Structure formats: structure tokens, C-alpha cells
């Protein structure tokens, strides 16, 4: 019997199929040498009046210290996959954080959130 893929796996596989490096949280601990995405589930919220939940996913894009200009390009690549290859499975939440510099890994970071809707089990 084959196991079903989790939403995290489906999203990561789609990004990786387009040549985007994807890591789960707390697994990429060295200096950022090339762009990548850290993908994590970012909570669950009830859809009011429905028997469904929204599962949120945070996409954190990292680019090397000297390549801040690559953030826009990486964001576009990731969102192209989400908006074209994975629509309507995953949708934008409209939430995006300001860019910041992570001096632990010498990288600029940009984060945004998308969500999926799933039926609640009764």
C-alpha cells in the first residue's frame, strides 16, 4: 500500500521539480551560498461556518548576503509554481513580511504565507 503525500511534500516536490532548493525548518544551518526556500507549516485556522480548516504554509526565501537583488527573482519563481502548477490546491493568504538580514547564516530573507483548505474529520 502506497502512502499518500502530505501537503508539505506535494508543495516541496513541485518547487524542487522547477529547480528550487527546499528545506524543512532548522535543517539548513550553514552560511547561505545560493538561494533556497525554507518551507514550514505555519498553523491552522478554522473557516467560520464550514467544516473546513485552512492550513497555512510559510515560505522563507533566502539569498546570499551579496545578492539581495535575487529576492525578487526567487519570489517570482516560487510564486509562479504556487500560482500556476499548484492552483487551486494552494492559495495566497495576502500575508507578506518585510525583508530582513539573518546574520546567523549571512543571508537576506523574505517570507510570505499561502494556505490550503482541508475538510475537518468528524
Residue 2 has a pLDDT of: 58
CA distance 58 to 37: 10
> DSSP state, 18?
T
The backbone torsions φ and ψ at residue 81, rounded to the nearest 5 degrees and listed phi first, read: -65, -50
CB of 11 within 8 A of CB of 39? yes
Residue 56, CB half-sphere, CA atoms under 13 Å: how many? 15
CATH number for the domain spanning 53: value is: 3.30.70.1700
Residue 103 placed within a domain: yes
| Domain span at 84 | 7-119
Residue 72 has a pLDDT of: 97
- From 26, 90, 87, 103, select the one nearest 60 (Cα to Cα): 26
Residue 100 placed within a domain: yes
Residue 95 placed within a domain: yes
Write out pLDDT tens, residues 60-100.
Answer: 999 999 999 999 999 999 999 999 999 999 999 999 999 99
Residue 1 placed within a domain: no
Domain count, the chain: 1
Residue 29 placed within a domain: yes
Amino acid at each position: 500500500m502506497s502512502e499518500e503525500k502530505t501537503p508539505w511534500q506535494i508543495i516541496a516536490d513541485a518547487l524542487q521539480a522547477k529547480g528550487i532548493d527546499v528545506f524543512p525548518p532548522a535543517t539548513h544551518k550553514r552560511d547561505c551560498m545560493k538561494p533556497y526556500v525554507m518551507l514550514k507549516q505555519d498553523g491552522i485556522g478554522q473557516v467560520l461556518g464550514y467544516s473546513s480548516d485552512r492550513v497555512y504554509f510559510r515560505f522563507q526565501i533566502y539569498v546570499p548576503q551579496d545578492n539581495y537583488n535575487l529576492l525578487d527573482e526567487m519570489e517570482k519563481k516560487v510564486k509562479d509554481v504556487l500560482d500556476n502548477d499548484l492552483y487551486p490546491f494552494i492559495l495566497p493568504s495576502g500575508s507578506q513580511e518585510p525583508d530582513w538580514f539573518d546574520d546567523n547564516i549571512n543571508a537576506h530573507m523574505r517570507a510570505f504565507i499561502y494556505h490550503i483548505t482541508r475538510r475537518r474529520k468528524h
